[in-house]
Amino acid sequence: MRSATVLRKAGERALSNRWSAIHNALPLSHFLTDNYGRKHNYLRISITERCNLRCLYCMPEEGVPLQPDSHILSRDEIKQLASIFVSQGVDKIRLTGGEPTVRRDIVEIVQDLKSLGVKELGITSNGIALHRKLPLLVESGITALNLSLDTLQDGKFMTITRRNGLNQVLKSLERALELGIKVKLNCVVIRGVNEDEILAFVKLAQWWPIEVRFIEYMPFDGNKWELNKVISYKEMKELILQKHPLMVHRDHKSGETAKVFKSPDWVGSVGFITSMTDDFCSDCNRLRLTSDGNLKVCLFGNEEVSLRDMIRSNVPKDEILEVIGEAVKSKKEKHAGLDELKTMKNRPMTLIGGHKLTHLNEKGEARMIDITEKQVTSRMAIAEGFIRFSNDLSIAQIEDNSNKKGDVISLTRISGLSGVKRTSELVILCHPLPVTKASISIDVLQDINSIRVECQVKCDGKTGVEMEALTGVTVALLNVYDMCKAVDKQMVIEGIEVVAKRGGKSDYGSALIEKSKM
């Protein structure tokens, strides 16, 4: 009895805290409104990459390479970033992972976020370790649970998750219902795996006050996604209607990801998340913060910007808000279609690019950035690029120095260095920089019939030397093209990118810089 009383009081406190937060909610700022008028009041924060399952649709059986702990947002950084979003009108936060319950300070993180005064503070969990922690999490501020469960059969649970644990998940579901928090049960439906259990899951919605949500199988890096494994929302709905003809579509709520259905004889409801066959982008209100502190404006997008690096560099809040605003404004009207999603890399560590950013003024006119107030730091950048030949003649001439125009390697190196020095003349908005050192290295890659050019640039200045490194690589590759075009009309220049940079707000590729000779 005492245990039941404790659970009931924890649930009552969570409900009271939620109503108080609703009453005191802040208006949404323009930083969180995109170019299509969508207002983003919902932030999903991944607090860990780690997980205690190996679900076949989520990651390889051997797991995935994890980042060093130093790359993951600390408790204080999570609160600091969350407070920025809440100050602009975010009123709903959900903690995700990996599996968030494997993080040791999750209770303290929940307490921190509760103190910010959001309307709803949720958690997405696989339920393996949740039942032991849930009462304290609810007492600390959790008001909603999304529980992942793809099968109700022991053997199949082992097949899907590559681990045991169905009973623990069901305990977590029971505990959540005892506590009285809002529960959604997420089931990823995969043809040939668990579509035969759809009606069994519907029974849970008949009996309990939960929303059972069937999710169309989606592609993510490493999950061996295949289109023929996708069961569409319409196919699932027709199957359920045969057994439950009174099921009707409930009115859609703005920002809701699921199409929700009810039946008069159900205590709960059934929802369908239709990312693959019928997107819900038009009223999307969600932003994502990855465990390493990158802002991701679309689940299916491949563009991110590091807020962690800005926090660690003590960038003022107003500057961080400008970056957030630019990222939100860059959000596309809708995510990619099926053809693009099949091949898209879902989680590359790249920065946002190709949108209206700081080189445009309020009127959309080009301008040079004012760097007067920036501090001089030691800057370095490394860029690389490739030229791929369509035959063996160019490589042969380069190696035996028989090209009629001269020594390709030497002239390419000189051309690249010339490009570095003339970057501000060629790239019109670049500041002239006092380059202190530059080098061009050239590798002949016979196995792939290509040449790789790498450019390293250093300077002591107020802005980075990425453009100098990129220009050096590009001009060097153009020189190779010019000198070899007589014997190869189908060369391809490709893969030009910055692979490392140091000295600014968003450094990366430190291992490459340490290996460099500069």
List the catalytic residues.
482
Question: HSE on the CB side for 118, CA within 13 Å?
Answer: 32
Q: What token pair was written down for 119?
A: 């309307």
Place of tokens 């082992």: 158
CB distance 494 to 386 below 8 Å? yes
DSSP 281: G
CB distance 286 to 42 below 8 Å? yes
Looking at the chain, how many residues does it have?
Answer: 518
| Residue among 121, 270, 262 nearest 181 (CA) | 121
d(CA 65, CA 162): 18
DSSP, residue by residue, 175-237: HHHHHT-EEEEEEEEBTTTTGGGHHHHHHHHHHSS-EEEEEE----TTS---GGGB--HHHHH
Task: Sort 142 into a burial class: Cβ within 10 Å, 0-12 / 13-18 / 19+.
Answer: buried
Q: What token pair was written down for 506?
A: 């968003």
d(CA 330, CA 302): 12
CB distance 121 to 144 below 8 Å? yes
| Residue among 498, 466, 475 nearest 383 (CA) | 498
DSSP, residue by residue, 4-38: HHHHHHHHHHHHHHHHHHHHTPPPPPGGGB-TT--
Which residues face 508 on adjacent strands? 501
319-323: list long-range contacts, CB under 8 Å, 24+ apart.
Answer: 320/84, 321/31, 321/84, 321/88, 322/31, 323/295
Which residues face 494 on adjacent strands? 386
98 preceded by cis ω (within 30°)?
Answer: yes
